[in-house]
Amino acid sequence: PALQRAAKAATTAGEAHASSNAPKEKPTAGEQRFEAYYAQQHLVPAPEFAKLLEALRKPLPITFRIFDATRDGTCARLEAEARALGATRLQAKGAWTFAGEARRELRAQGDKTRDGALRDFLVRGDRFRCLRRQEEVSMASVEALDPRPNDVVLDCCAAPGSKTTQLVERCEGGCVVAVEYDAKRARALVARSLHVCGGDRAARLVVCKGDATKLPSSQRFDRVLCDVPCSGDGALRKTGMRAYRRWRCADALALHDLQLRIALKGADLLKVGGRLVYSTCSLNPVENEAVVFRLLEARPDLALVDHGLGTAWRARPGLATWRLLVEDHR
């Protein structure tokens, strides 16, 4: 038996050595297009570009918000349990993370005990209506919008609802109008919001199925969130490598006009002195800086302001120039 175990260990070590020396898979056409396109956009200094690509291949850590939806002490108990499990606080209100831990990696490592403990905690918190899984970067849009108590807030493209419920929590005494174009997603948004918000908070949420570019102008809002439909190539850590392998320049170009129309309508509905936040899940300047540029050009009464998130949020200034490319990087 000892010799068998030694032989098996030697075989395993040999397999691992062979695996480590195995040639890497050839990048797909989509991966090549993605890397060539963003190498020309200079989102980060050239020496950091390889680090950006490496980071995009890593799974997201577990992040979530704990909030006092039930007002019966459940929130405090969940916070204590989160600490006991090793969670740490993030910058956003009520935000936590199991830093460096992703359930996909825990499963790949075969750590069933830790994976099960985290899964049970997250599921139980959701069942108690006091915990919501949400990426940290998703929370940033609401933090930048900075809704105040008694504000009337418009969420232009609301589903699946993480930001919507975050807005409702922040607007004590106010109201949130959440607009979603797709009927199925709008129904899911209602169900999810009722589950998470509950009680008097749900009464301060209005969900509308409709086109955010055609909203009536009879109401003005203190805060407007335009988290628009996008190509989503900044969310590769969430969506996985399939989206990376299918990447095309045309995806962003096809959405630019719609994104601008939503932002323009949001600006039309903004009160004087109010704040509008435009956000995407994309890295592409065609969907970000280019839209903001055309918005400011069309609406000279708007002023570009600092996001106000502070130094705890890692951020870079927007691009002043970018390259408009089509397929094959031309």
The C-alpha atoms of residue 180 and residue 183 are separated, in whole angstroms, by 7
Which is nearest to 81 in space by CA: 100, 61, 103, 66?
A: 66
Q: Of 156, 157, 175, 281, which one is the catalytic site residue? A: 281
What 3-state DSSP class applies to 180? strand
Both tokens assigned to 8: 């098996």
Edge to edge, what strands does the sheet with 95-98 contain? 88-89, 95-98, 62-66, 131-133
Helix (H) or strand (E) holding 64: strand 62-66
Note if 281 is an active site residue. Answer: yes
Both tokens assigned to 266: 């949001």
Return all residues near 175 (Cβ < 8 A) that are at least 6 apart. Answer: 152, 153, 204, 205, 206
Q: Is 222 exposed, middle or buried (0-12, 13-18, 19+ CB in 10 A)?
A: buried
Indicate which residues carry an active-site annotation. Answer: 281
